[in-house]
Structure 1
Amino acid sequence: MISMISEGVKVSVETFYQQDYSNPMQSEFMFAYRITIENHNSFPVKLHSRHWHIFDSDGSYREVEGEGVVGMQPVISSGEEYQYVSGCNLHTEIGRMHGTYQMENIHNKEIFDVSIPAFDMITPFKYN
C-alpha cells in the first residue's frame, strides 16, 4: 500500500490486477485500485473532483479529469475516512498513476488540492 498526507488528508492506494477482465493477447490489461481518504483536519472536507495522470510503460500518457469519484462527491468529517474502488485499463503490463483531488473546507469554503501518491500497476507475471 502506498500512502501520502497533504493538506491534512491522507490518501492510501492498493492495486489489484484483474486477470478476468484482461486480454494480454490484445494488449488489454485491467487493474483495480482501492483508495482510502482519511481526513486528519479539524474540519469536514468535500471532494469535488479528481485529476489523474496515467502512464503506460510504452511511453504513452493520458489525463483523466472529472467530478467526484465513482459518481460521488463525498463529505468526509474530521477523523473519518472514505473508501472506494475504481479501475484503469493499460495497453502494457506495467503502468503508473498519480494525481490530485480538489477538495473544499466545508467551514470556510476554501478550495485546495490534495495529492494522490504515484502508484504502480504491474501484472503478476512481470514479477518473475
Structure 2
Amino acid sequence: MSDVELFKGEQVQWRPAPINPAWVIEGAPETRNFLVSQSLDRSSYTFMWDCTAGVFNWYYDIDETVYILEGSVTIRDDNGVERTLVAGDHALFRAGSHAVWRVDKYVRKVAFLRQPVPQPLMFAVRAIRKLARMMNLGPATAASWG
C-alpha cells in the first residue's frame, strides 16, 4: 500500500460554509469550502474556500496560512493596518488573532490550518527528531523537517 493518496480527476464537492451571522458587518457574503486533506492526527488541514462580496470579522482559533488563488480581499488587523491580498499573495494568521475581511467581488483561497504545538512539547519533538537523525532511525527527509 502506498503512502501517497492521489485524487486526480475526482469531482470536487463544494459545500456551503456560512460565516457566523454575528461576524457579518456588511452585505451577505456566501462562502463554500471543501476539504482537500487532513493529517492523520487531525492537527492539520488543507481547505479550498471561496467567498462573494461582503465585510466580516474573522476570529482565528488555529494557525491559518492562506494563499490567494483568485480575486482579492482587503484585511484590516486590530491595529487598523489594511493590506490587500491578490492572486499569488499569502498571509499567516496566528491562533488567537482577529481580522476584518472585506471582499469587494470574490475571493478564492487555499487555506492551510495547523493546530499550534505548545513550545515545551515542540522542544521535545525537535530533540527526538534530532536524536533519530543522529542514530539514523527513519527517513532522512521526514526527520529533517523539524
With structure 1 as the length reference, what TM-score do the two structures score? 0.33
**Larger Rg: 1 or 2?**
2
Tell which has more relative contact order, 1 or 2 (C-alpha 8 A, sep 6+): 1
With structure 2 as the length reference, what TM-score do the two structures score? 0.30
Structure whose residues are more often strand by fraction: 1
